[in-house]
Amino acid sequence: MTNELLYQISLTLIPNIGAVQAKQLLEHFGNAESIFKSKKKDLGAVEGIGEIKAKCIKDFNEFQEAEEEMAFCNKHHIQALFLSDKNYPQRLLHCYDAPTILYYRGNVDLNHTKIISIIGTRNNTDYGKMVTEELIEELQSQNIIVVSGLAFGIDAIAHKASIKNKLPTIGVLAHGLDSIYPSQHKSLAKDMLLNGGLLTEFRKKIKADKHNFPRRNRIVAGMSDATIVIETDKKGGSMITAELAYNYNRDLFAVPGKIHDARSSGCLKLIQQQKAVLLTSAEQLIQELGWEEKKKLPKKQRELFIDLSPDEKIIVDILKAKETVSIDELFLKSGLSSSSIAGAMLSLELQNVVITLPGKMYRLA
């Protein structure tokens, strides 16, 4: 583990510096070490920082705590994924409040091509259990990763059904990786580590405080192509995750239930507000997300791409180098303006050269 990682972890320990402020500082200074070594007046000049936060940075001296976290990660084979790390979930990176650092213990790619989150009430009905299990079983052939929050109820059902169907599953935690909450799920968490993993933004010794769950929920929503709400009350925690997914412009689905059952009232509200699509089957989900099997162009035909404009050729070259690319990545790598990219992408889609994926991701047809 590097010296830069020491500063990266330390950045998350500074009082009054949250994820948004950390991003602003990184954009200005380039890396975490430079932030700590900058002058107070230069720190204070950064938008959103000011004199008080600049003083917090300069007064920080808890580097030993960061060193202890690094040692803990090294001992337990935990990856510390900073915003700039290539293994950091790129879907989540595009969210304005993405965590500065994530701690990940697992063996699957957090940038896998198909990731969904399945969430719901802790007090599920038999109907909710059946729907969750059937949905995951019918998605077995799709090579997806299932994300949830390792809570009682729908979360645990989703994780267990994924394991049963040999699908990778990731539990996002509201505490550090030195414990499991609820403790009854220690065995489940152990099974998940065989094909999937555990993910959190919280360092060791941080307990599952109630204020941590909304922060956990934004990771569940932000790292997924789509969020599926199975059952929830109007005021349930799953509604927070659903609203986050909606505000992140992610696909949001809700399973309908009985109109007099409080545990379906949240789902019905999301559908009524047209924030979520009413979901009735795995087949519908596959169609909505554009996951149907498509006949690929022969290699020779893909290599020709006759009559492409200069802008289109730039984009195609970027897509050739990587299986899927986000719109933000296209903007950074192409050097083109947003309007030029939009025009080129529309043309490429009409020519059946490019396919749009959930979460504003793209790949060659």
Looking at residues 100-105, what average pLDDT do you find?
A: 97
- DSSP state letters, 294-319: -PPPPHHHHHH-TT--HHHHHHHHHH
CA dist., res. 214 & res. 241, Å (int): 8
CATH among 1.10.3720.10, 3.40.1410.10, 3.40.50.620, 1.10.150.20 for 1-66: 1.10.150.20
* CATH code of the region 299-364: 1.10.10.10
CA dist., res. 340 & res. 347, Å (int): 11
- DSSP state letters, 144-199: -EEEE---TTHHHHHHHHHHHTT--EEEE-SS-TTS-SSGGGHHHHHHHTTSEEEE
The winner for highest mean pLDDT among 32-41, 307-316, 339-348 is 32-41
pTM above 0.85, yes or no: no
CA dist., res. 336 & res. 348, Å (int): 15
User: What is the residue whose two structure tokens read 């569940």?
Assistant: 220
Domain ranges for the chain, please list them.
1-66, 106-288, 299-364
Which of 131-145, 168-182, 287-301 comes out lowest in average pLDDT? 287-301
- Higher model confidence: residue 1 or residue 207? 207
Find how far residue 40's CA is from the centre of its chain.
Answer: 34
Burial 272-284 (b: 16+ CB within 10 A, else e): eeeebbebeebee
- Tens digits of residue pLDDT in 14-33: 999 999 999 999 989 999 99
Q: Residue 212 corresponds to which tokens in the numbers above? A: 């941590």
CATH among 3.40.50.2300, 3.40.50.1000, 3.40.50.450, 3.30.230.10 for 106-288: 3.40.50.450
